[in-house]
Structure 1
Amino acid sequence: MAKEKAAASRKTVASSGTRPRRPRDSLSRDIIVAAADAVVQRDGLDRLTFQAIGEELDAHPTSIYRHFRDKDELMLALIDSLRARSYTGAMIATDDWMADLRGQAHLIHDHYMRYPEFALQMALRRPTDFTSMEFSIGALRRGGYGPEEAAMYARALGQLVRSASSIQAALAAQPPDVKDADELMWQMDYQRLSPEEFPNIAWVGSNLPGIQDPRAWEAALDLLLESIERQAPVNSGRPDA
């Protein structure tokens, strides 16, 4: 209700033509990014326009072009801001390299789930990825992996964690009624399958996790990390690289 009143108030003031405009040189990239974040959190990503940001800031939309050439550039800056909010100071190396990899995976996953609206856009490579990759390679190096394997496993781990997180976040971004209907349809579709045609699915029955069940994400992460740990030179007797 408060949001509706605020929106109605902005419309009323705008229609009266008496809304005070922000001073010409009072905008900055940080102020605009913060306003864009507010618009998305309140109205959704599809409502993010320069017009909406201008209304949020009591500024003319054209003034935003002095700081961002287009919406794509603004989106990248917003994604950088969100990542910095989630990652800054959070990745700290310890004497347990496997715990570090697990903690990093959860940090990335939690970031996607915190900002599900941006699940697709967050797949774009940004400068914040350098810090994340440095951390992954450092952990694998402490596990005894050489340059070639450390580079490959760091890339594979990052891609798989981000892919799984992106799918889960995209589902979480759906309206509650859509999510509930999708979950129900998922369960009903599997229950309707013919046991003769799909005997293995019938065998697991209700044990099959739902599409929103977080245990599937944890199981996938466990399998991946257990494989990396099992093959690590420090655990397999292979000479350190």
Structure 2
Amino acid sequence: MATAGDAARRRDAGSSSGRARLDRDTIIAAGLELAAGSGTASISVRELGTHLGADPTAIYRHFRSKEHLMQALLDELTARSLAEVTADPADWKERLRQLAAATLAQYVIYPAVGAEAIVLTTHGPGELDAIEFMLQAFAEAGLSGDDLVRHYALLATHVLSSAAGIARGRGERDPENGAGPWFEGPILADPRKYPLITEYNTQLTDLEDVALFTLGVEAVIQSAERAAAARPGGGG
């Protein structure tokens, strides 16, 4: 499998001869380089062409549209996230936790790509591997049928949407790996009309996005445990 370093070397070799040599791996590596830029909320094909030292139209020889390009970039992040999972296959809970954490980390590093997970389905090998991975984990938990599929969907929806939202927030500011506030500053509300907001204002403004992301992952895992235990022959 080609690496980002391999793609960069091919790009440099092409540039030295006065013409950038483009292929899918080179374009994906360059796209991720742009997406990792400080405060980068989005990337354009024109910017990517400039970064590659090539006419932007050359990119469309390998990707039929900007959406197709973003799907390939997002699929690469999914594959990288899966590669970070090291837990034993029997430890389904830790495997799901590791995948969720790795996905969030990748989206935060590349916010311009991670934010696209809200609206894009890649249909690529990374996505298919991730779906199979999660289905296998919930099967290992003791689920099958509708219970298995629903818990996969719950986890996938939470991880993708929450991680993408956190990535978007990082992309609009200077990207960072630390937690961010759920609310920006105190909530200003009339205590006569919003007594509960007033009562819990401090707790609400103390909420952090990464902690809530982790809490959601744990909630799905706990739900899977309860569903497995409730099945005929289940434990507990």
TM-score greater than 0.5 by the shorter chain: yes
Residue 215 of structure 2 is aligned to residue 223 of structure 1? no
* Corresponding residue for residue 168 of structure 1: 166
Query: What amino acid maps onto 1:220 in structure 2?
Result: G
Given the superposition, is the C-alpha separation of residues 175 and 29 from structure 1 closer, same or farther in structure 2, using an over 3 Å criterion?
Answer: same
Identity of aligned residues (%): 26
Give CA deviations for 1:25-83 in whole Å, capped at 9, x if unaligned: x322211222222233348354522x433333333334333323332322222222333
SS in 2 for 1:118: helix
Distance in 2 (alpha carbons) for counterparts of 1:60 and 1:226: 51
* Higher relative contact order structure (alpha carbons within 8 Å, sequence separation ≥ 6): 2
Compare CA radii of gyration and give the structure with the larger one: 1
TM-score, normalization by structure 1: 0.72
Residue 172 of structure 2 is aligned to residue 196 of structure 1? no
What is the 5 A alignment of 1:58-137? 58-88=53-83, 90=85, 93-123=88-118, 124-126=120-122, 127=124, 128-137=126-135
Q: How far apart are residue 98 of structure 1 and its match?
A: 2.1
Q: How far apart are residue 101 of structure 1 and its match?
A: 2.3
Q: When the two structures are aligned, how many residues end up with a matched partner?
A: 210
Q: How far apart are residue 119 of structure 1 and its match?
A: 3.3
* Corresponding residue for residue 5 of structure 2: none
Matched-pair contact (CA < 8 Å) for 1:35–1:53: yes
* Corresponding residue for residue 11 of structure 1: none
* Corresponding residue for residue 18 of structure 2: 21
Given the superposition, is the C-alpha separation of residues 217 and 56 from structure 1 closer, same or farther in structure 2, using an over 3 Å criterion?
Answer: closer
Question: Which residues of structure 1 form unaligned runs of 5+?
Answer: 1-18, 177-181
Matched-pair contact (CA < 8 Å) for 1:186–1:210: no
Distance in 2 (alpha carbons) for counterparts of 1:203 and 1:93: 45
SS in 2 for 1:228: helix
